[in-house]
Structure 1
C-alpha cells in the first residue's frame, strides 16, 4: 500500500512539474536566447599595412634617445576579429568614421550590445578596423598639421558633435533636447562624448583605402564592408582597389567625398554653413564601374532636412541629396545600389549613430535581410 501511494505521489509530482514546465518553457527559452553565450572558434588581433621613415645617421647606445639611425613606424591599421563556430563563408569588415575608432561598433553608450557581437551571433566573422592614425593605430609617419581634423581644438566636441550627429539640439534655454532613439541621460551623453578620438596625423583617405584593400585581399572568399559616416568614401575607394570587396553596407556615408564618374559630376547642394556641404570626387569611368559590380546599400536615419535651423539636420540633408545622386549614378550604369531612409519605412527617431541606439536590433535585422537577399549570407 505504501509503495502504491509513493508511486501515485511521484506521478502527481512529475505531472505537475511537466505541466509547469510546459507553461514556463517559452519564457525560459526567450531568456536563454538572450543570455546564450557567444560561441567563438577563433579571435585575435593583428596589424595591416604600415611603413616607416628612416632617420639619417647611426644609432649608438651612448646616445640612445637621439633620432640618429632610428625609424618612425606608422600608417597601419589595427584589426580585432572574432570568428564564430560554423561561421559563414564571407566575413564583415567594419570601417569607422571620422574622429571615431572601432568603438563605433562596440557597446553603445548605455551598455547595450554592439554590432560587433550581434553580427557574430548571426554567424558572421567580424573584423573591426582602427584606420591608420586613429584609435589603436595611432602611430603616424607624418606630424599633425593645423588642418588635421579635430586635433587643434579639443573643445570642438561636446555640443558641436552632439548637434552635427543629430543626437539632438538645444532649446531656447540651452538645454539639450534628445531624439527618440538615442539613450537619454547625462551618463549616456558623457559616454557618447568619450568615444571620440583625435588623429595622430593628417587625414589621408587614400592611405586608409589602400590599407583596407590589403585587409580585403587577405580574405579568401572576399568580404562585405560595413562603413559609417566619413568611412563611406573609404569603402567606395577600397572597392575600386580590391575585387575582394563583394558588397558594401554604408551607414550614413558623408563628410567626405562620394565617388562619381569624372564626366558626370553631381549637383552640389550647399548647407547653410557651406563648409558642411556634401562633396563629390570624380574618378575615371573604368574605376567607377567597379562599384556597379557589387551590391551596395545606404541607410540614413531621422532628422534630416535641408534648410533646417538645426545645423546637423541641414548638413545631413545635403549628404542625403548627394547619396541620392550617387545611387542613381550607379544604377544608371547597370549597378545594384539601394538607398534607405528609415523614416520612410516606418523606423523613426534615429541619429547619425543608429548602430548604438535603442532600436539597434531592428537596424541590424535590416542588414541581415539584405545580406540574405543578395546571397552574401552563405
Structure 2
C-alpha cells in the first residue's frame, strides 16, 4: 500500500471514529449518527366502488368527469418518518402533532434550531414522527371535505399563546423576527377530510402494532386521542402530553361537571371502568406552558387553556385515585417562563426536553 493510500485509510478511520465519538453522549452538538431511516404508511382502509373498471370507457381518465366504477381508493392511513440511532434505548418515541399541524411540529423550529425529533435522536431514542390520517402527507381521505381559505393567522397567534393580534406577550420564548413568524404560520395545514377519532386512533394503534412497545408523545388535540389509543393498545408504555386540550377520559360514573369558558364548554368523556383502568397501568406526564390565566378572562384564546388546565388537574386526580401515575407540570412553576402552546419548539426547547428526559429516566423508560 502506497503512502498516499495509507494516508487516505487513516483519514477515513479518524473521520468515522470521530463521528461516532463526537462530543459526549447526549450532546446537542456534533454529528448525529443514524443507522437506519425511512418512511411508510400505516393503518387506513380501502374503498372499492361498485361496477367494473373499463380503461377505455369515456371518463375513465378524464379528471373532470371521472368514472369510479370498479376502482379503489386507499386512504385514512397515517404517514410516518422514522430514524434510528446507533445504540438506541429499548423503547422508541412516537411523536403525534396537534390540531392544524403536521409532523413539522417536532422537526426544525421556526427559527432554525433542532426540534424534538433531532434532540431525542441525539439522546439515543428511535424516533417515529407521524402525520395523522387526513392531514399533511397522509392527506388521502375516504370522506370528502370542503377546504376553505379564510385568513385566520391572528386567531391562531392567540390560541397558540404567542400574544394578542400581532403583539407578542412580554417575555415570550419565541423569536420576534418577522421571518420566524412567517415560518411558523406556514406550518399550519388543513384537514383534507372530517376529523375522525376512530380513524386516527386506529392508525396510531396500527403503528404500535408494527413497531412494538414504545412511548407516545402528544401535543394539544392529539392528547385526548392519545388516551384513547392507549386504551386500545397495551404496547404504549408511557405517555408524554404537551398541552392536551380536550377529550379527557373518566370512568362513566365520575365524569366531572363541564367547564364553561368564554367561547365554549369543555366536557370530559365517560368510559367503562375496565377501559379507563388501562390508563392507570402506565406512567403519564402532562406539561403546560405560560400565559394561562388563573381566573376567567374575556379573551377566548387564553380562556380555553384555563379550562383545559382545570380539566387536566381533575383528570390527574381521578386517574391517580384509581392507582395511576399521572404527573402534571406547569412550566412557569418549575422555572421555565414564557413558553407558548408549542414548548417543543420555543427558544428554550432544550430545557423543556431536559424535563422530559428526566421524567423518562425516573420512570425507567429510557433503559
TM-score (norm 2): 0.88
Unaligned runs of 5+ in 1: 1-27, 146-150
Q: Which has the larger radius of gyration?
A: 1
Matched residue, 1:9 = none
Separation in 1, partners of 2:187, 2:366: 31
Q: In 2, distance between residues paired with 1:156 and 1:339?
A: 35
> Aligned residue for 1:337?
326
Q: Distance in 1 between matches of 2:241 and 2:23?
A: 34
Paired position in structure 1 for 2:4:
none
Once the two structures are TM-superposed, the CA of residue 210 in structure 1 deviates from its matched residue by: 1.1
Over 3 Å counting, the alpha-carbon distance change for 1:144 and 1:105 in structure 2 is same
Distance 1:29 1:81 in 2: 24
Q: 1:263 aligns with which of 253, 275, 282?
A: 253
Choose which of 34, 42, 54 in structure 2 pairs with 1:60. 54
Unaligned runs of 5+ in 2: 1-21, 62-66
Aligned twin of 2:30: 36
> Which residue number corresponds to residue 296 of structure 1?
284
Residue 159 (structure 1) aligned with residue 154 (structure 2): yes
For the 8 Å contact 2:77–2:138, the answer to whether it is kept is yes
Q: Is the 8 A contact 1:178 1:184 kept in 2?
A: no
How big is each residue's C-alpha offset from its partner over 1:92-127, in whole Å with a ceiling of 9 and x where there is no partner?
001111111100000111011110010000000000
> 1:212-361 alignment to 2 at 5 Å?
212-220=204-212, 222-254=213-245, 256-274=246-264, 277-305=265-293, 306-361=295-350
- Other-structure match for 1:181: 173
Is contact 1:205–1:233 with CA below 8 Å preserved after alignment?
A: no
* Alpha-carbon distance between aligned partners in 2 of 1:373 and 1:155, rounded to the nearest angstrom: 46
Q: Distance in 2 between matches of 1:217 and 1:295?
A: 20
SS at match of 2:189: coil
State how far apart, in whole Å, the 1-side matches of 2:322 and 2:28 are.
44
Per-residue deviation, 1:68: 1.4
Secondary structure of the corresponding residue to residue 237 of structure 2: strand
Partner of 1:76: 77
Separation in 2, partners of 1:169, 1:158: 11
Whole-angstrom distance in 2 between the partners of 1:295 and 1:372: 12
CA shift for structure 1 position 273: 1.3
1-side partners of 2:286 and 2:227: how far apart? Answer: 12
Which secondary structure state, in structure 1, belongs to the residue aligned with residue 56 of structure 2? helix
Check conservation: 2:43, 2:78, Cα contact below 8 A. Answer: yes
Q: Distance in 2 between matches of 1:34 and 1:280?
A: 39
Task: Identify which range, 303-312 or 208-217, moves more after superposition.
Answer: 303-312
Q: By how many angstroms is 1:327 displaced?
A: 0.4
For this pair of structures, how many residues does the alignment match? 336
Question: Partner of 2:14 in structure 1?
Answer: none
TM-score normalised by the chain length of structure 1? 0.86
How far the C-alpha of 1:177 sits from its partner, in A, is 2.5
CA RMSD of aligned residues (A): 1.7
Q: Distance in 2 between matches of 1:94 and 1:278?
A: 25
Q: Residue in 2 aligned with 1:24?
A: none
Deviations 1:64-88 (A, max 9, x none): 3221111122000001000000011
1:322–1:162 Cα change, 3 Å: same
**Deviating more after overlay: 184-193 vs 245-254:** 184-193
> What secondary structure sits across from 2:276 in the alignment?
helix
Q: Does 1:143 align with 2:144?
A: yes
SS at match of 1:224: strand
Return the alpha-carbon distance in structure 2 between the equivalents of residues 217 and 45 of structure 1.
16
Higher helix share: 1
Give the 5 Å matches for 1:57-136.
Answer: 57-63=51-57, 64-65=60-61, 66-136=67-137
Farther off after superposition, 57-66 or 364-373 = 57-66
Instruction: Give the SS at the match of 1:233.
Output: helix
Residues 1:216 and 1:43: Cα distance change in structure 2 (over 3 Å):
same
Label 1:234 to 1:29 Cα distance change in 2 as closer, same or farther (>3 A).
closer
- Check the 8 A contact 2:257/2:267 in 1, yes or no: no
